[in-house]
Amino acid sequence: MNERCESIRRRLAEDRCEAFFSLSPAANQYLTGFTGTTSAVVITAKEALFLCDFRYTEQAGEQVRDFEVVEITGTMETRVGEHLKALGVDCAVFDGTALTVWQADTVGKAFEGELCSVADIVSRQRQVKDADEIARVRAAAELADEVIMEVAGGLREGMTEREAAARIEFAFKARGAAGASFDTIALFGARSSLPHGMPGDKRLEKGDIVLIDCGCRRDGYCSDLTRTFAFDTIPGAWFEEIYAVTLTAQEAALEALRPGMLCREADAIARNLIRDAGYGAHFGHGLGHGVGIEIHEAPRLNVESDTVIEEGMVVTVEPGIYLPGRGGVRIEDLVVITRDGCAILSRTPKQLKVLSG
């Protein structure tokens, strides 16, 4: 029995709806084990259908568990609507956060029944990871640890940000990862103040800040890790100060994280420390986010989230301080929530390190 599918069926019964469908690659991987990019799932009280085209039929036969594999031709959204109609259901639900308006309209035209958006029908299940999922995330985190220190230790004066990022992504694949779990961030000098800056042609100089944010996708699951270094020499006392404040805020949040806490309460612990140190205006993003099949998934640790933290959630803890025109610091670990706290999956040291030139 596919317990994840059965959970959907229980939710359908509670909501008095007859069917669920999904075109989301992440949700479909979670429900069926399929890691391809194009598929659909249709679930009713008695049916569990997995739809794919010719390109993926063989792969689906190897990966999909407890679903009937149906090969389709033509437009996936239309075929989903037709299958819902053929199953004789009057109402079908979908995750509105994972479907475009066009997709919903196309399914609806072929279905001719009632469609209802339910925001958390799969994502709520995915928030809490089972032991196998945690093991996969841990393996991806271990690989990120290996690669970030190897590449950081090999940085040389004159190397560009783009080259550093490329070395990280090559190292991931060379060690067996499917690839990076997001576009690697490698920023030098003043450009480290860009929280999600894209690597460019900036060349590494002595005294530069080096901010690296990277992760890999391994065995279907992601990792996420950020470290900030100085190259050859520390750029100044101001940098040491914001590094110390960021590290203190991160460690305080890690110490406090536990089941029963609201996500916004965790965010506030780090945010208040940074604010009290005079840098509140320079920490503008949330404390962290869930990581699993996707690099950004529920829950979100931010100022608004009332989600209750639960044992088995896997989240990042990544406060930062960013000073435009000067540089920034972010320190990020990946953690799993345990019965009475959290276990840190990231092992790369966090004390300020000066990379040799």
Question: What are the pLDDT digits (tens) for 18-32?
Answer: 999 999 999 999 999
pLDDT for position 39: 98
Q: Is the pLDDT of residue 125 over 80?
A: yes
pLDDT for position 2: 85
Domains of the chain from N-terminus onward = 3-126 (3.40.350.10), 128-355 (3.90.230.10)
Question: What are the pLDDT digits (tens) for 31-59?
Answer: 999 999 999 999 999 999 999 999 999 99
User: What is the mean predicted confidence (pLDDT) over 102-111?
Assistant: 96
Strands 114-117 and 91-94: parallel
pLDDT for position 19: 97
Q: Is the pLDDT of residue 60 over 90?
A: yes
Question: What are the pLDDT digits (tens) for 190-233?
Answer: 999 999 999 999 999 999 999 999 999 999 999 999 999 999 99
pLDDT for position 81: 97
E strands present in the chain: 19-22, 40-44, 48-52, 68-71, 91-94, 114-117, 179-180, 185-188, 209-214, 216-218, 221-222, 225-231, 288-290, 297-301, 314-317, 320-323, 327-330, 333-337, 342-344, 354-355
Report DSSP letters for 102-161, one per residue: HHHHHHHHHH-SEEEE-TTTTHHHHHB--HHHHHHHHHHHHHHHHHHHHHHHT--TT-BH
